């Protein structure tokens, strides 16, 4: 984007859209390069621990309305830390299917990638209300700064 920013954010698991470790590292390097002196980088993501243990596809169904449902299928490739989600809407017409792929990373791995990119963890909480982050926290909000 060019320029220096006092705050850079990646929320709602957006970081995981980079589907390789190298792409995630490059993302963090770009953040570092865009961060103003004294600026902060805030990353929000889920903890992938519950998904990492899946060994077979997980299927769930959601009620969308009187005449429609969504079928969700989640497959996990633990060796690549990839999640492939397929969403199919059934509403009486032709099924509508979308798919997305995420490369999840554990909080400690994100810290290591950030360090390799020249960033340092300042704070980690379990949410936007600054709840303490514990081993049972399903999400984290992590704040980084440039490592000088």
First to last CA, the chain: 22
What's the pLDDT score for residue 2?
A: 74
Look at residue 123 and tell me whether its pLDDT is greater than 80: yes
Q: How far apart are CA 87 and CA 40, in angstroms?
A: 35
Would 5-48+105-146 and 51-102 be classified into the same CATH topology?
no
What's the pLDDT score for residue 140?
A: 98
pLDDT in tens, 61-102: 999 999 999 999 999 999 999 999 999 999 999 999 999 999
Q: Which of the following CATH numbers is that of domain 5-48+105-146: 3.40.720.10, 3.40.50.150, 3.40.50.11710, 3.40.640.10? A: 3.40.50.150
Look at residue 1 and tell me whether its pLDDT is greater than 80: no
pLDDT in tens, 22-70: 999 999 999 999 999 999 999 999 999 999 999 999 999 999 999 999 9
Look at residue 119 and tell me whether its pLDDT is greater than 90: yes
Q: Which of the following CATH numbers is that of domain 51-102: 1.10.3720.10, 3.40.50.300, 2.60.120.200, 2.20.25.570? A: 2.20.25.570
Per-domain residue ranges of the chain: 5-48+105-146, 51-102
Question: CA 62 → CA 14, 69, 71, 74, distances in Å?
Answer: 23, 6, 7, 14
What's the pLDDT score for residue 14?
A: 97
What's phi and psi for 137, nearest 5 deg?
A: -70, 125
What's the pLDDT score for residue 113?
A: 98
Give the pLDDT band of residue 148 (cuts 50, 70, 90): confident
What's the pLDDT score for residue 3?
A: 76
């Amino acid at each position: 984007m060019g320029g220096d920013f006092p705050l850079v954010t990646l929320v709602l698991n957006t970081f995981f859209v980079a589907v390789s470790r190298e792409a995630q590292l490059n993302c963090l390097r770009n953040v570092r390069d865009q961060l103003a002196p004294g600026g902060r980088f805030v990353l929000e993501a889920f903890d992938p621990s519950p998904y990492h243990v899946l060994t077979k596809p997980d299927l769930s169904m959601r009620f969308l309305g009187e005449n429609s449902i969504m079928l969700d299928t989640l497959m996990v490739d633990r060796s690549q830390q990839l999640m492939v989600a397929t969403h199919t809407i059934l509403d009486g017409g032709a099924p509508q299917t979308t798919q997305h792929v995420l490369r999840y990373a554990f909080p400690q791995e994100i810290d290591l990638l950030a360090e390799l990119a020249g960033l340092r963890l300042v704070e980690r909480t379990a949410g936007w209300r600054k709840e303490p982050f514990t081993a049972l926290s399903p999400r984290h909000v992590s704040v980084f700064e440039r490592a000088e």
